[in-house]
Amino acid sequence: LATQRVAPNSPQWFNTGLHWAYGIDGPSQGHFYVDPFTGKLTKSKSSYEHPQPHACFIQGVQDDLVNEGGIMDLWVREARLFKYGSGTGSNFSFLRGEGEKLSGGG
């Protein structure tokens, strides 16, 4: 860092160390991290103790309006990423095209 040969992604600059150095904390926002001791995916108990280390994410979306993995859930997942400085792109290839029949419901 001192010789500017590498630079972390912006979320790392914004968030890493805030909990450790300044005690900044907040309620869990639905983030997960890999526990270094168990290697298992673990739900964060706070918003800054295990900040997101990446700037870009590609997310998929299912052809479903309100359930997990669907269109409205995508908005929530995007908001979680945006809140801490990351960006997101979305893969809409599973959504049906205009005029295609519904798989069920309305």
Average pLDDT per run of 10 along the chain, which is 106 residues long?
74 82 90 92 90 86 94 94 87 90 71
Quick one: pLDDT at residue 1? 62
- How far apart (Å, rounded) are the C-alpha atoms in residues 20 and 10? 18
Tokens found for residue 67: 């359930």
**Domain of 58, in residue numbers:** 52-94
Q: Cα angle at 50 between 3 and 62, to 5 degrees?
A: 110
In a domain, 104, yes or no: no
Structure confidence at residue 105 (pLDDT): 66
Confirm whether 35 is domain-assigned: no
Q: For the chain, what is the domain count?
A: 1
Q: Is 27 helix (H, G, I), strand (E, B) or coil?
A: strand
pLDDT of residue 90: 94
Residue 91: phi, psi to the nearest 5? Answer: -100, 105
pLDDT at residue number 89: 94
Segment holding 74, helix H or strand E: helix 71-83
User: Would you state the pLDDT for residue 76?
Assistant: 94
Structural domain includes residue 18: no
Would residue 73 count as lying in a domain?
yes
17 within some domain: no
pLDDT at 12 (0 to 100): 77
Q: How many CB atoms are closer than 10 A to CB 29?
A: 13
Return the number of other C-beta atoms located less than 10 Å from residue 48's C-beta: 20
Domain assignment present for 61:
yes
**87: three-class secondary structure by DSSP:** strand
